[in-house]
Chains A and B, each alone.
Chain A
Amino acid sequence: MDFDLSEEQQMLAKTVRDWARKESTVERFRKVRDADGLGFDPKVWAQMGELGWLAMPFPESVGGFGGSFVDAGLALEELGKMLVPEPYLASVALAGRALLRAGDAAQHERFLTPMLEGQTTLALAYAERDARFDPAHVRTEAKAAGDGWTLSGEKIFVLNGHAADHLLVSAVLDGELALFVVEGGAEGLTRETLRFIDGHRGARLRFENTPAAARLTAMDTAEVLQRAMHDGAAAAAAEGLGVLQAMLGITTEYLKTREQFGVKIGSFQALQHRAVEMFVEVELMRSMAIEAMVRADEDGPERAAAIAAAKMQLGVGGAFVSRQAIQLHGGIGVTDEADIGLFFKRHHALMTLFGDVEHHVGAYADTLAAE
Chain B
Amino acid sequence: MVPPAMDLTFTERDEAFRKEVREFVASAMPPEMKQKAADYGHFSMPEIMEWHKILAKKGWVAPHWPEAAGGPGFDATQRFIFSEEMELAGAPPLSPFGLVMVGPLIIRFGTDEQKQRFLPKILSGEEVWCQGYSEPGAGSDLASLRTSAEDAGDHFVVNGQKTWTTYAQYADWIFCLVRTSNEGKKQAGISFLLIPIDAPGVEVKPMQTLGHTPAFCDTFFDNVKVPKENLLGPLNGGWTLAKALLGHERTLVAAVGQCRRTIRLAKHIAAETQGADGKPLLDDPRWRDRIARLELRLRAHQMTNYRSLAEQQKGKHPGPETSILKLVGSELVQAADELCMELMGLNSLSWFNDEGVVPAFEQWVPSTFCYDRATTIYAGSNEIQKNIIAKMILGLPSK
List the interface of chain A (C-beta within 8 A of B).
Answer: 127, 130-134, 137, 156-157, 192, 194-199, 204, 259-262, 268, 270-271, 319, 323, 326-327, 330-331, 333-337, 341, 344-345, 348-349, 352-353, 356-358, 362
Q: B136-161, CB under 8 A of A: which get 1 and which 0?
A: 01111100100000000000000000
| Of B290, B377, B383, the contact of A334 (CB 8 Å cutoff) | B377
Asked if A197 and B366 sit within 8 Å, CB to CB, the answer is yes
Output the residue of B139, B349, B354, B369 with the most chain A CB within 10 A: B349
Asked if B346 and A331 sit within 8 Å, CB to CB, the answer is no
The reply on B244 being an interface residue by CB < 8 A is no
Pick out which of these stretches binds chain A: B12-20, B105-113, B202-210.
B202-210
Nearest chain A CB to B14 CB, angstrom units: 36
Nearest chain A CB to B44 CB, angstrom units: 17
| Of A131, A261, A262, A335, the contact of B276 (CB 8 Å cutoff) | A131
Asked if A333 and B377 sit within 8 Å, CB to CB, the answer is yes
5 intermolecular pairs with C-beta atoms under 8 Å apart: A194-B357, A195-B353, A271-B383, A330-B377, A344-B373
Q: A194 vs B134: C-alpha distance in the bound complex, in angstroms?
A: 37
| Of A334, A341, A352, the contact of B346 (CB 8 Å cutoff) | A352
| Of B342, B352, B377, the contact of A356 (CB 8 Å cutoff) | B342
| Of B139, B334, B351, B370, the contact of A344 (CB 8 Å cutoff) | B370
Closest to B216 in A: A335
The reply on B212 being an interface residue by CB < 8 A is yes
Asked if B350 and A356 sit within 8 Å, CB to CB, the answer is no
The 4 closest A-B pairs by CB, nearest first: A260-B141, A336-B208, A134-B276, A132-B276
Q: A351 vs B387: C-alpha distance in the bound complex, in angstroms?
A: 33
List the interface of chain B (C-beta within 8 A of A).
Answer: 134, 137-141, 144, 163-164, 207-210, 212, 216, 274-276, 278, 286-287, 290, 334, 338, 341-342, 345-346, 348-354, 357, 366, 369-371, 373-374, 376-378, 381-383, 386
| Of B138, B286, B290, B348, the contact of A348 (CB 8 Å cutoff) | B348
* In the complex, chain A residues whose CB is within 8 Å of the CB of B207: 335-337
On whether A352 and B348 interact (CB within 8 A), knowing A327-B376, A358-B286, the answer reads yes
* In the complex, chain A residues whose CB is within 8 Å of the CB of B338: 319
Output the residue of A133, A137, A352, A362 with the most chain B CB within 10 A: A352
Asked if A334 and B137 sit within 8 Å, CB to CB, the answer is no
On whether A352 and B212 interact (CB within 8 A), knowing A194-B357, A331-B378, the answer reads no
Asked if B353 and A335 sit within 8 Å, CB to CB, the answer is no
Closest to A322 in B: B373
* In the complex, chain A residues whose CB is within 8 Å of the CB of B163: 331
* In the complex, chain A residues whose CB is within 8 Å of the CB of B345: 132-133, 352, 356
* In the complex, chain A residues whose CB is within 8 Å of the CB of B353: 194-195
Nearest chain A CB to B5 CB, angstrom units: 42
Asked if B164 and A323 sit within 8 Å, CB to CB, the answer is no
Q: A345 vs B373: C-alpha distance in the bound complex, in angstroms?
A: 12
Asked if A127 and B346 sit within 8 Å, CB to CB, the answer is yes
* In the complex, chain A residues whose CB is within 8 Å of the CB of B377: 327, 330-331, 333-334
On whether A331 and B374 interact (CB within 8 A), knowing A156-B346, A260-B140, the answer reads yes
* In the complex, chain B residues whose CB is within 8 Å of the CB of A204: 357
Closest to A325 in B: B373
* In the complex, chain B residues whose CB is within 8 Å of the CB of A134: 276
Q: A326 vs B274: C-alpha distance in the bound complex, in angstroms?
A: 32
Closest to B346 in A: A157
Asked if A261 and B216 sit within 8 Å, CB to CB, the answer is no
Nearest chain A CB to B287 CB, angstrom units: 7
Nearest chain A CB to B140 CB, angstrom units: 5
Nearest chain B CB to A147 CB, angstrom units: 35
* In the complex, chain B residues whose CB is within 8 Å of the CB of A157: 346, 349-350
Output the residue of B278, B290, B334, B351 with the most chain A CB within 10 A: B351
Q: A357 vs B338: C-alpha distance in the bound complex, in angstroms?
A: 12
Asked if A195 and B376 sit within 8 Å, CB to CB, the answer is no
Asked if B346 and A335 sit within 8 Å, CB to CB, the answer is no
On whether A196 and B351 interact (CB within 8 A), knowing A260-B141, A358-B287, the answer reads yes
Asked if A335 and B208 sit within 8 Å, CB to CB, the answer is yes
Nearest chain A CB to B365 CB, angstrom units: 10
Q: A360 vs B104: C-alpha distance in the bound complex, in angstroms?
A: 52
* In the complex, chain B residues whose CB is within 8 Å of the CB of A270: 383, 386
Nearest chain A CB to B357 CB, angstrom units: 6
Closest to B375 in A: A334
Asked if A335 and B383 sit within 8 Å, CB to CB, the answer is no
On whether A341 and B351 interact (CB within 8 A), knowing A130-B274, A270-B383, the answer reads no
Q: A197 vs B164: C-alpha distance in the bound complex, in angstroms?
A: 23
| Of B274, B350, B382, the contact of A197 (CB 8 Å cutoff) | B350
Q: A358 vs B370: C-alpha distance in the bound complex, in angstroms?
A: 21
| Of A156, A198, A330, A337, the contact of B139 (CB 8 Å cutoff) | A330
Q: A362 vs B275: C-alpha distance in the bound complex, in angstroms?
A: 12
Asked if A336 and B141 sit within 8 Å, CB to CB, the answer is no
Nearest chain A CB to B294 CB, angstrom units: 14
Q: A261 vs B369: C-alpha distance in the bound complex, in angstroms?
A: 31
Q: A137 vs B286: C-alpha distance in the bound complex, in angstroms?
A: 21
Q: A326 vs B352: C-alpha distance in the bound complex, in angstroms?
A: 22
Q: A197 vs B207: C-alpha distance in the bound complex, in angstroms?
A: 18
On whether A196 and B349 interact (CB within 8 A), knowing A327-B377, A331-B374, the answer reads yes
